[in-house]
Amino acid sequence: MYKFLTLVFAFLIFSNEVYGAPKHYLMGAIGDSISVAFMADTSAKAASLSSLLTKTSEDQVRATIDKESKLDNRWTLSWTSGNQIQSHFVFLTNYFKKTEPTSTLEVLNVAVSGAVTEDLLDQANQIVAATIETNKDGTKKYDSLKYLTFLIGANDACHGIADEDMKANLNHVFSILNRIKQSEPVRILVSGLPKIPDLGLSAINNSTGFGGFKCSTIRNITGTCRALVSWTDNDDYNNKVTYVSDRNRILKSAVDAANLKYLNLKIAFNDEIFQQKIVAEELAAECFHPNAIGQETLSKSLWTAQPWYQ
């Protein structure tokens, strides 16, 4: 027993010498329903002959949605914070297991379904507040905020939030995050928006969601982002794609400005998901948000976009 304790003590001393004292790090996430993993525990399916012939009522659709869906899966299936998929939290945890095996990592996802850029002001303040939390003995709870994910703008686009308002909100968010005081930069990954009008393609509209009902039927009833998902012809489609692309340019412009203005922030922007094909098999059963497979696809794509933890 004495020899065993001696070996343990020697290992702890060696670990502290090599890796330093154990650190407790924080990862954060702000955003909207995509980061919440809204209904990600459900799945749509590609179109079949039976789905094309199905006739349904609004009451049937709503009853099925209420029965079969979970609105918040942030701790399990979210691309940023989920523990049941290859999320950024899982990737970062594994990174630190290799580089700092004595450290621990905790994730705080304060995203809110339906959030627009203005709502990120409160979310950013929550992240700032978490970085100064203390333990019962008065010591800091977290040694530093190692990483923050930032996916917002879909609801701004769907609701036609003015460009100038979106720009002002984003600038304010970065000014709040700049208040974080730590010995290393605050590393932030900002994602662009997916090509939302593609959800109106016939391959998606004719796929099936809750209860085997057609996606077009479900979205007509829920009204989710009708302004961008419903279009009449190629010109209308292209105009709406351009509109979403413009939102991504606003996001990138805000990131570029913040990188110049706030030396405490290191921000990477990536709009890879705008280029990705949307397929029914990666959608939740309400035919708009990514399901667990889609969340993992999003996670892997965006993980390669951040330059710090490869």
Reduced to 3 states, what is the DSSP secondary structure of residue 256?
helix
Return the pLDDT at 47: 46
- Give a yes or no: residue 2 inside a domain: no
**Of residues 10 and 106, more confidently modeled:** 106
Mean pLDDT of 217-241: 94
Return the pLDDT at 46: 64
Question: H-type helices in 20-113, by residue range?
Answer: 33-36, 49-53, 58-68, 88-99
Domain total for the chain?
1
- Give a yes or no: residue 1 inside a domain: no
pTM check: above 0.85: yes
CA-to-CA dists, residue 15 to 10, 11, 99, angstroms = 9, 6, 12
Alpha-carbon dihedral of residues 303, 293, 42, 190, nearest 10 degrees? 20
Q: Which domain holds residue 118?
A: 23-303
Mean pLDDT of 279-284: 95
Digit-coded pLDDT (tens) for 50-75? 443 444 455 655 555 555 557 899 99
Digit-coded pLDDT (tens) for 172-196? 999 999 999 999 999 999 999 999 9
Return the pLDDT at 232: 94
Return the pLDDT at 71: 86
- Give a yes or no: residue 160 inside a domain: yes
- Check which CATH number belongs to the domain holding 271 and give it: 3.40.50.1110
- Give a yes or no: residue 8 inside a domain: no
Instruction: Give the residue from 20, 10, 8 showing the smallest Cα distance to 102.
Output: 20
Query: Is a pLDDT exceeding 90 seen at residue 211?
Result: no
- Give a yes or no: residue 12 inside a domain: no
**Of residues 2 and 221, more confidently modeled:** 221
Instruction: Give the residue from 230, 161, 223, 156 showing the smallest Cα distance to 192.
Output: 156
Radius of gyration of the chain (CA): 22
